[in-house]
Chains A and B, each alone.
Chain A
C-alpha cells in the first residue's frame, strides 16, 4: 500500500497563471477529498468525490477552481488565473465510505508570486 500521493509537492507560479495538481488515492478507496490549509489554520474542506461523481463543493471553491476525477481513480484540481490569496497547502485525502477514516497525502504547497 503506497498511501495517498500528490504531485507536485511544491509549485511556484506567477499571478494570473493556471496550475493543476494531481492526487492518487489509496487504490480501493472510492471517496476522494480536497482540502486547503493556510498558515496557522486547520485544513478547510473544498470538495469531494464518490467514485467519479463530485458530490459536494464548498463555497470556498470559486469558479476559478475546478476538480475532476474522470475514471474514479486519480483526481486533478485546477486553479485558473491564480491570485496571491490562493497560496496555501492543498491536501488530498481518500476514504472507503462515509464514516471511514480519511487518509491524507503529503500535500502540494502552492506559492503565487
Chain B
C-alpha cells in the first residue's frame, strides 16, 4: 500500500510565481515529514522538514505546511526560479520505525523563464 502519495506527477509554473507541491499520507503514526529535491543523476537533496507538533516551517523561499487532520502537507516555493526545476519527493517517518523514510512518487517541477 502506498502510505505517502503525491498525486501530481508534474507541475509547470512561471519564474517568479508560487509553486505549490502537495502530498497526502495515510499512516497516522507518521510524526515527521520531509521534502527532498532530486536532479537527474544525483541523489535526493534535503530541503526542509516539519514535526507533527507544528503546522508550518519556513526556510527562505521554502515553506512547508502540515494539516494533520487532513493528513496533508504542502511545499510552497516563492518566488520560483528556473534552478528549482527538479523532482520533489515528500517523505515521512515515525519514531517507532527506526527513522526509515517512506517516500511519495515524486512531482516533476518545471519553472519556465
Is A21 positioned at the interface, with any CB of B under 8 Å from its CB?
no
Give A53 Cβ to nearest chain B Cβ, in Å.
11
Across the A-B interface, the 10 shortest Cβ-Cβ residue pairs = A42-B103, A104-B43, A45-B100, A98-B99, A104-B44, A56-B98, A101-B46, A106-B43, A43-B103, A42-B89
Besides A42-B91, A45-B100, A104-B43, 13 more A-B contacts (Cβ < 8 Å) are A31-B99, A40-B106, A42-B6, A42-B89, A43-B101, A43-B103, A44-B103, A45-B101, A48-B98, A56-B98, A98-B98, A101-B34, A105-B43
Contact mask for chain B residues 52-68; partner A; CB cutoff 8 A; 1 contact, 0 none: 00000000000000000
Name the residue on B nearest A42 (C-beta): B103
> Is the interface on chain B under 10, 10 to 19, 20 to 34, or 35 or more residues?
20 to 34
In A70-109, which residues have CB < 8 Å from any B CB? Answer: 91, 93, 95, 98-99, 101-107
Answer whether residue A41 sits at the interface, using C-beta atoms and an 8 A cutoff.
yes
Which bracket fits the contact residues of A?
Answer: 20 to 34
A4 close to chain B: CB less than 8 A:
yes
Q: List 20 A-B contacts (CB under 8 A).
A: A31-B99, A33-B100, A41-B105, A41-B106, A42-B4, A42-B103, A43-B44, A43-B101, A44-B103, A45-B101, A48-B100, A56-B100, A98-B95, A98-B98, A102-B46, A102-B99, A104-B43, A104-B45, A106-B42, A107-B42
